[in-house]
């Protein structure tokens, strides 16, 4: 049985307006997404900004309440649990936020911040708490003295290390990494990714890794889920990603990646048109307005997510 099973997950945000502040529409952020994550696996979620990947990750751990659908963790349905019933799962499921600047409390030192987490969940107390904090700080590559400093005294990469330490404080088994390196300099990104890989092995973590960079996903993950306008359009293994990707959107994302060899040449696929509004979804395939392989059928029908012989899934009429 998979550690995490997501079935037909939907998340809509109401849009209010008018004198009475009534709901006048909805932003369709996540639209019927289904996937699973095996224990010890790292699954990447990739797509352009605004495709719903971060919202999906937050719905999985109920930082956002899903509009509908099912999220089962270790066999337990989470969507129907009360706040009190969710508390044991909060210890097992944690998140690393995208922005290390805004996700840390500027009024607390690192030690006070981590103490707050441990005390709230009753995970440690007294000298054992401070010893645990010191070990955490060292595991993420910082000196013990860093625990007495405030967030503004650190660089961006160091702040993200503190965010990782906070996520690991309760010794979780499942982590949502919400674009953990996108706000960092390129020179620092590799250090943080290598740290996450080491911690994944040490703690036996299962990860849901959210990113807009397929290069990072290919390097870090076992499988990738590709999202477009809140829909899951393709799922496949990261092994041989360039050869196995079938959906035109996935191919376009891969084509936009920088080439390692400057002498190598390849055809650049430039997508025409704009991403449709999630407030007013188009009929048929959401990618039809930008797809180079579009057919009349695509504009009228939503392509089903079909299973491939190698365990992949793709939603495209043009893919045989």
What is the chain's pLDDT, residue by residue, as a tens digit (320 residues)? Answer: 799 999 999 999 999 988 888 988 999 999 999 999 999 999 999 999 889 999 999 999 999 999 999 999 999 999 889 989 999 999 999 999 988 888 899 999 999 999 999 998 888 888 889 999 999 999 999 999 999 999 999 998 999 999 999 999 999 999 999 999 887 888 888 899 999 999 999 999 999 999 988 888 988 999 999 999 999 999 999 998 888 999 999 999 988 776 666 666 666 667 787 888 899 898 999 999 999 899 999 999 999 999 987 889 999 999 86
Q: What pLDDT is attached to residue 240?
A: 84
316: buried, middle or exposed (CB in 10 Å: 19+, 13-18, 0-12)? buried
Q: What pLDDT is attached to residue 187?
A: 82
Could you tell me if residue 232 is inside a domain?
yes
136-169 in b/e form (b: 16+ CB < 10 A) is bbebbbbeeebbebebeebebbbbbbbbbbbbbb
Could you tell me if residue 140 is inside a domain?
no
**CB within 8 A of 30, min separation 6: which ones?**
9, 10, 11, 52, 55, 56, 59, 66, 230
Could you tell me if residue 278 is inside a domain?
yes
Could you tell me if residue 112 is inside a domain?
no
Overall number of domains in the chain:
1
- Domain containing residue 217: CATH number: 3.40.50.300
Structural domain boundaries, residue 309: 4-107+150-314
Could you tell me if residue 143 is inside a domain?
no
Could you tell me if residue 223 is inside a domain?
yes
Q: What pLDDT is attached to residue 99?
A: 85
Query: Could you identify the residue written with the tokens 């089962």?
Result: 72
Q: What pLDDT is attached to residue 320?
A: 66
Q: What pLDDT is attached to residue 284?
A: 92
Could you tell me if residue 135 is inside a domain?
no
50-63 in b/e form (b: 16+ CB < 10 A) is bbbbbbbbbbbbbe
Could you tell me if residue 50 is inside a domain?
yes
């Amino acid at each position: 049985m998979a550690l995490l099973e997501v079935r037909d997950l939907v998340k809509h945000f109401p849009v209010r307006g008018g004198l009475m502040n009534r709901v006048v529409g909805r932003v369709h952020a996540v639209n019927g997404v289904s996937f699973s994550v095996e224990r010890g696996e790292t699954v990447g979620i990739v797509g352009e900004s605004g495709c719903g990947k971060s919202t999906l990750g937050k719905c999985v751990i109920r930082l956002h309440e899903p509009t509908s659908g099912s999220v089962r963790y270790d066999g337990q349905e989470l969507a129907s649990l009360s706040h009190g019933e969710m508390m044991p799962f909060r210890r097992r499921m944690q998140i690393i936020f995208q922005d290390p600047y805004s996700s840390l409390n500027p009024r607390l030192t690192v030690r006070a911040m981590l103490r707050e987490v441990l005390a709230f969940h009753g995970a440690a107390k007294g000298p054992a708490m401070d010893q645990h904090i010191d070990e955490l700080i060292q595991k993420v590559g910082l000196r013990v003295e860093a625990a007495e400093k405030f967030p503004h005294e650190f660089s961006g990469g160091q702040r993200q290390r503190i965010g990782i330490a906070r996520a690991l404080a309760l010794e979780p088994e499942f982590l949502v990494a919400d674009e953990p390196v996108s706000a960092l300099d390129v020179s620092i990104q590799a250090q943080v990714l290598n740290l996450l890989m080491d911690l994944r092995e040490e703690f036996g973590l299962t990860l849901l890794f959210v990113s807009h960079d397929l290069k990072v996903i290919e390097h870090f993950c076992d499988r990738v889920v590709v999202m477009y306008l809140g829909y899951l359009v393709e799922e496949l293994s990261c092994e041989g990603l360039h050869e196995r990707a079938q959906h035109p959107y996935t191919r376009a994302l891969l084509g936009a990646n920088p080439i390692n060899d400057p002498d190598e040449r390849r055809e650049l696929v430039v997508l025409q048109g704009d991403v449709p509004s999630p407030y007013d979804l188009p009929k048929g395939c959401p990618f039809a307005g930008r797809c180079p392989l579009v057919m009349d059928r695509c504009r009228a029908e939503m392509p089903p997510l079909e299973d491939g012989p190698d365990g992949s899934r793709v939603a495209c009429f043009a893919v045989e």
